[in-house]
Structure 1
C-alpha cells in the first residue's frame, strides 16, 4: 500500500482580488494575485451564509487584502482561512468614473497576468498604482492609458526604444521606426507623437495630457491591439464600450 503525506503550509500574504465566482449556495471561489505566490485560486466555504466570519464584500474586484491561506502542495485550489482589508478605498466606491475604470482594468489584468509565481516588482507597482488612483483628487481621464503603458514593462513588451519618437510605431515589433512596416499593425503621424507622450508620462504628470475624446479612444484601441498582439488569448474586452462611453 502506497502512503503519502500532503504537504500543507499556512501562509499570510498581501493579495489583490481579481475575480470571484459562486461555487455553491454558501461558498465562492476567488482568484487573487498574491505577493508571495502570484495568481492563486481559493475556495471560501460558508462565506454566503448569514453567520459567515469572512464576508463576500471583501472580494470586490481589485480590493487590497491581507490574507491567510492553507496551501497544499501541487493543488490548484486552496483554502482561504482569513481575510481583511489592508487598504480601504476612500473615493473609488463613491466615484462612478473611477469604478468604471477599475472594472476595465480588472478585465485587462485577468486576461494579462496568469503566472502562479511571485513577481514582486509587478505586485508592488500594481498595489501602489491602485492606491494612487484612489487618493488622487483629480486624476483626469487618461489614467488607464498610462496604466496600460506602464504595465507592459512587467509583461515584457514595453517599447524597445522609448527615447526615440520616429514617424511610425510598429505595434507588432514594439518599436519606433522611420518607414511604414509591411503589415497593418502600426500607428503614424500625430498618433505616434501622442503614443510617445504616454511613455513619458507618470501618474503624477497626468495633468499635462490634453487629448480629445476621439484621440483618447484611438489611443485606447491602439493599446488594446498592442496587448492582443503580444499576449496569446487576450481576446476582446467586454468592458471597453462602457469605458469609452464614459469619456465621450
Structure 2
C-alpha cells in the first residue's frame, strides 16, 4: 500500500553502500521507520535529509512488515540557516537523539508533531538559544506527561522519581539538592523568551541539563545519555 506522509527526520542510518534506514516522527502515523534504497545517491547533494528535516515521504508498506520502503522524499520546509550554522546544527542533533528515544514507540500525536515542527522553524529563524536545551527538555517533559511540578515555592530538593520540587528528602530514590534547584524552580515559572534570556552560569547550565537527562532516564524506558551532549555543552558555553 502506498502512503504519503509528513515527517520529521529523527535518525538516519547507513544500510548499504547506497541505501539508508530513516526514522521519522510523522503527522499521520507517529514513529515510522523506512528503508530508502539508493537514498545516499539520490540525496547526496542538498540538505533534505539532515537532522530534523521536515519532509513529505512517499512510501510503500506491506502489512507484514514494520519497515516501509521510501520511493521519494520532498522538502516541506527549506531551512535558511539550521544545516549550516554550527550551533544550530549541533542543537538539532542533540534534539534528534532525545526525540528518537522518547518517541520510538509513539503512535499518532498531532500535538507533538506540531510542537517539533514549530521548534524546528523557530530555531532556523532565531539567534537566541543559549538556554534552549534546558527549555526544550522542560517543554518536552510537559508534552509527554512527565512535567516537573513545584510543590513548595521554598523547596530545595528536586525529587527525580516523583518529578516534584519540595523540601521532602526521598529515602529510596534519586534526588538533587544542589544550588541549581533554585534556578530550575525559577525557570519552571518562566515563559520561553524569559528562559532564553535568563542569565545562567555555564557550569550551572551543564548541571541542570544533566539533572534533566537523568530525569528522562528514570521516566523513559531505555533512555540513555545522548552522545552529542558533551559536544553540545562545549559549543553552548
TM superposition score normalised by structure 2: 0.90
Contact 2:155 2:166 in 1 (8 A): yes
Task: Summarize deviations over 1:91-145 as a string: whole Å, max 9, x none.
Answer: 2122211111111111111222112520111111111011111111x21311011
**Any idea what SS the aligned residue of 2:158 has?**
strand
Q: Which residue of 1 aligns with 2:119?
A: 129
Aligned-residue RMSD, C-alpha: 2.2
**Any idea what SS the aligned residue of 2:231 has?**
helix
Q: Which residue of 2 aligns with 1:148?
A: 137
Q: Distance in 2 between matches of 1:43 and 1:189?
A: 46
Cα distance change on mapping 1:67 and 1:187 into 2, 3 Å? same
Cα distance change on mapping 1:28 and 1:110 into 2, 3 Å? same
Contact 1:169 1:177 in 2 (8 A): yes
Contact 1:54 1:83 in 2 (8 A): no
Contact 2:50 2:83 in 1 (8 A): no
Q: Distance in 2 between matches of 1:200 and 1:34?
A: 31
Cα distance change on mapping 1:74 and 1:35 into 2, 3 Å? farther
Contact 1:31 1:40 in 2 (8 A): yes
Q: Which moved more, 1:200-209 or 1:109-118?
A: 200-209
Q: Distance in 1 between matches of 2:123 and 2:172?
A: 37
Write the mapping of 1:178-193 to structure 2, written as runs, cut at 5 A.
178-183=167-172, 185-188=174-177, 190-193=179-182
**Any idea what SS the aligned residue of 2:39 has?**
coil
Q: Distance in 1 between matches of 2:193 and 2:128?
A: 8
**Residue 184 of structure 1, CA deviation:** 5.7
**Residue 219 of structure 1, CA deviation:** 0.5
Q: Which residue of 2 aligns with 1:39?
A: 31
**Larger Rg computed on CA atoms:** 1
Q: Which residue of 1 aligns with 2:193?
A: 204
- Give yes or no for the alignment of 1:75 onto 2:65: yes
**Any idea what SS the aligned residue of 2:76 has?**
strand
**Residue 71 of structure 1, CA deviation:** 2.7
Contact 2:19 2:38 in 1 (8 A): yes
Contact 2:150 2:185 in 1 (8 A): no
In structure 1, stretches of 5+ residues that fail to align are 1-7
**Residue 80 of structure 1, CA deviation:** 1.4
In structure 2, stretches of 5+ residues that fail to align are none
Cα distance change on mapping 1:135 and 1:215 into 2, 3 Å? same
TM superposition score normalised by structure 1: 0.86
Q: Distance in 1 between matches of 2:22 and 2:162?
A: 35
Q: Distance in 1 between matches of 2:82 and 2:194?
A: 20
- Give yes or no for the alignment of 1:139 onto 2:128: yes
Task: Summarize deviations over 1:14-40 as a string: whole Å, max 9, x none.
Answer: 100011122222221111111111111
**Any idea what SS the aligned residue of 1:109 has?**
helix
Q: Which residue of 1 aligns with 2:93?
A: 103
2:6 equivalent among 7, 14, 22: 14
Q: Distance in 2 between matches of 1:127 and 1:165?
A: 36
